[in-house]
C-alpha cells in the first residue's frame, strides 16, 4: 500500500514527460514549417531562339496593297500569318507566276514553293519548341507544388498523431492520478496541447518554396513590351496581331490571354506581390500560387499550339494553288 502513491507519482511524471515530448515535437514541426527551402533556379526549360524570319512588310501602306491583291486567295488572318513568317513577298510572286508556262517561270515557281515551305516549317518548329518549353515549365511548377503538398500532408499527420497522444494522456490521467491538483494540471495541459495541435493541423498554411526565373515565359505576355526578350520577333508579331473574335471585335492572342487571366484567374484583383511572383523573376511561392502559375503556362502553351495549327492550315492551302 505504501508503494501505491510512489507508483502513481512515477506514472504522473511519465505522463508529464510524454506530454512534454509531444509538445516539443509539435514545436519542432511548427518551426520547420517556417523554413523556406530553395530549388534550382536554372531555367533548363527555356531555350534561346534565333530571331530569324523578318516580316515581309513593315509599313501599313505596302501591306494594304498586297492584301488587296491577294484578298481573293487568302483570308485576312492567313495574310497576316504569311507576313509575320516572312513569306508574303514570295506568295505574291508565286501567284504572279501562276500562269507562267516557260521554263524560267516554272523553275522560279518551284524555288518559291521550296522557300515558302522552308520558312513555314521553320516557324512551326520554333512554335513547337516554345510549346515544349511551356509544357516543361508547367511540369516543373507542378512537381514543386506536389512537393509542397506532400510536406503539408506529412505535417498534418504529425499534428494529428500528437493530438491523439495528448488526448490519450488527458483521458488516462484522472484514472491514475487521484490528487486533485496534479490531475487538473495534466488534464488542462493535455487539453490545451490537443487543441493547439488540432488548430495547427487546420491552419497548416506555412508551406512555401523559393523559385526564381532567369527568363520568365509569362513576363512579356503580361507587360507587352514593344519587342520581346523571350520570344523571336516573328512569334511576338503573331501573338500581338489582332484578329477577329466573336461579335466582330478584334483582339490579339496576348490581349485575349490577359483579359482571361484578369477575369477568371485573378477575379479582377492582382496584388503587386502576386504580379511580381508570376510575371517578374519569381520569389517565395505557396502551393496555391504555384498552381496559378501552372494554369497560366498551360493556357499560353495551348495558344502556341493553336498558332501552329493555323500555320499548318496555311501551308496546306498554299499547296493547292
| Mean pLDDT across 9-30 | 52
Q: Which of 229, 227, 226, 198 is nearest to 214 (CA)?
A: 229
Specify the pairing of strand 208-212 against strand 282-286: antiparallel
Look at residue 4 and tell me whether its pLDDT is greater than 60: no
79 has a pLDDT exceeding 50 = yes
Confidence of residue 3 (pLDDT cuts 50, 70, 90): very low
Query: Quick one: what percent of the chain has pLDDT higher than 70?
Result: 67
Dist. CA 19–CA 25, nearest whole Å: 10
Nearest to 257 by CA among 283, 228, 295: 295
- Region 185-190: mean pLDDT is 54
Contact 218, 292 (CB under 8 A): no
Phi, psi of 251 (to 5 degrees): -155, 145
Q: What is the structure's pLDDT at 189?
A: 56
Q: What is the four-CA torsion angle of 198, 203, 206, 208, rounded to 10 degrees?
A: 120
Higher pLDDT residue, 40 or 308?
308
- Please state at what angle helix 103-176 crosses helix 287-319, rounded to 10 degrees: 160
Model confidence at 11: pLDDT above 60 = no
Residue 95 burial (CB count, 10 A): 18
Mean pLDDT over 36-63 rounds to: 73
Rounded to whole angstroms, how far apart are CA atoms 182 and 187?
9
Mean pLDDT of the chain: 80
CB contact at 8 A, 120 and 85: yes
Evaluate if residue 24 carries a pLDDT over 80: no
Spatial CA neighbour of 233 closest among 65, 104, 53? 53
CA quadruple 228, 232, 238, 239: dihedral, nearest 10? -40
What is the C-alpha separation between 84 and 55, in angstroms, rounded?
5
- Determine the pLDDT at residue 16: 54
Paired residues of 212 in beta bridges: 282
Asked if residues 51 and 232 have their Cβ atoms less than 8 Å apart, the reply is yes
SS3 244: strand
Q: What is the largest CA-CA distance in the chain?
A: 124
Q: What is the pLDDT of residue 169?
A: 57
Whole-number Å distance between alpha carbons of 171 and 198:
16
For Cα atoms 121, 65, 80, give the angle at the middle one, nearest 5 degrees: 30
Lowest mean pLDDT among 104-113, 155-164, 274-283: 155-164
Q: What is the pLDDT of residues 219-264, one digit of tens each?
A: 999 999 999 999 999 999 999 999 866 566 789 999 999 999 999 9
Task: Give the span between the Cα atoms of 21 and 170, in whole angstroms.
Answer: 14
**Within 13 Å and on the Cβ side, how many CA atoms surround 55?**
19
Q: What is the pLDDT of residues 146-165, one digit of tens each?
A: 988 888 665 555 556 555 56
pLDDT of 6 higher than 60: no
Question: Residues for the chain: how many in total?
Answer: 321
> What pTM was estimated for this model as a whole?
0.78
Rg over alpha carbons for the chain, rounded to the nearest Å, is 32
Counting residues of the chain whose pLDDT is more than 90, the rounded percentage is 49
pLDDT given at position 45:
85
| Amino acid 46: pLDDT | 78
Amino acid at each position: 500500500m505504501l508503494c501505491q502513491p510512489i507508483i502513481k507519482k512515477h506514472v504522473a511524471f511519465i505522463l508529464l514527460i510524454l506530454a512534454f515530448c509531444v509538445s516539443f515535437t509539435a514545436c519542432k514541426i511548427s518551426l520547420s514549417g517556417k523554413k523556406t527551402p530553395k530549388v534550382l533556379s536554372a531555367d533548363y526549360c527555356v531555350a534561346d531562339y534565333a530571331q530569324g524570319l523578318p516580316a515581309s512588310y513593315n509599313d501599313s501602306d505596302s501591306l494594304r496593297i498586297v492584301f488587296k491583291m491577294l484578298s481573293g486567295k487568302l483570308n485576312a488572318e492567313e495574310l497576316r500569318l504569311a507576313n509575320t513568317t516572312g513569306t508574303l513577298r514570295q506568295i505574291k510572286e508565286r501567284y504572279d507566276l501562276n500562269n507562267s508556262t516557260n521554263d524560267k517561270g516554272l523553275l522560279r515557281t518551284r524555288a518559291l514553293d521550296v522557300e515558302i515551305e522552308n520558312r513555314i516549317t521553320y516557324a512551326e518548329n520554333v512554335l513547337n519548341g516554345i510549346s515544349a518549353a511551356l509544357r516543361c515549365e508547367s511540369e516543373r511548377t507542378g512537381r514543386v507544388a506536389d512537393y509542397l503538398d506532400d510536406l503539408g500532408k506529412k505535417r498534418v499527420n504529425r499534428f494529428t498523431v500528437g493530438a491523439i497522444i495528448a488526448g490519450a494522456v488527458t483521458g488516462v490521467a484522472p484514472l491514475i492520478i487521484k490528487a486533485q491538483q496534479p490531475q487538473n494540471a495534466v488534464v488542462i495541459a493535455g487539453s490545451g496541447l490537443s487543441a493547439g495541435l488540432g488548430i495547427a493541423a487546420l491552419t497548416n498554411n506555412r508551406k512555401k518554396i523559393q523559385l526564381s526565373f532567369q527568363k520568365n515565359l509569362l513576363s512579356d505576355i503580361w507587360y507587352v513590351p514593344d519587342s520581346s526578350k523571350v520570344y523571336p520577333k516573328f512569334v511576338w508579331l503573331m501573338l500581338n496581331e489582332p484578329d477577329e473574335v466573336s461579335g466582330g471585335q478584334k483582339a490579339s492572342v496576348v490581349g485575349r490571354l490577359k483579359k482571361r487571366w484578369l477575369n477568371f484567374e485573378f477575379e479582377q484583383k492582382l496584388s503587386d506581390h502576386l504580379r511580381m511572383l508570376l510575371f517578374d523573376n519569381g520569389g517565395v511561392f505557396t502551393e496555391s500560387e504555384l498552381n496559378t502559375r501552372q494554369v497560366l503556362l498551360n493556357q499560353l502553351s495551348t495558344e502556341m499550339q493553336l498558332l501552329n495549327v493555323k500555320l499548318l492550315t496555311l501551308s496546306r492551302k498554299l499547296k493547292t494553288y
